[in-house]
Amino acid sequence: MPITQSSRFAGLPILEVTAPDGSRRRVLGLGLRATGEPGPATHRVRQGDAIDLIARRGLGDERLWWRVLDVNPPRYPLDLAPGEQLRLPDRAQATRASRARSFR
């Protein structure tokens, strides 16, 4: 299945690894932590704001709500409080794979 541009996994490398049974498999190299600094943009939460609406305003696509969460301290997405300041990620690079697990 191809990975769409709006997917959380877009831009991550496809790695070939050796499984415990010796077979070769292609796997997605998942990021283990957010990397890079978020862009200078921020958003002050207003009454009625939802994380997907913030993503649409800040990143142009509500499906990228997880990118906003990735550059802010861990939180439940429905616990946004009016007046709270959220950092918005750089549109091009909110997360990327920094290393992949080895199956040796």
pLDDT tens digits in sequence order for the chain, 104 residues long: 577 878 877 777 878 878 778 888 887 776 544 444 544 689 999 999 999 999 999 888 888 898 898 888 888 888 899 999 999 988 765 434 444 555 55
Find where tokens 């696509």 sit. 61
Residue 7 CB-half CA count within 13 A: 11
pTM over 0.75: no
Pull the structure tokens for residue 67.
């990118």
| CA pair distance 43, 85, nearest whole angstrom | 6
Cβ atoms of 9 and 28 closer than 8 Å? yes
- pLDDT confidence of residue 52: 93
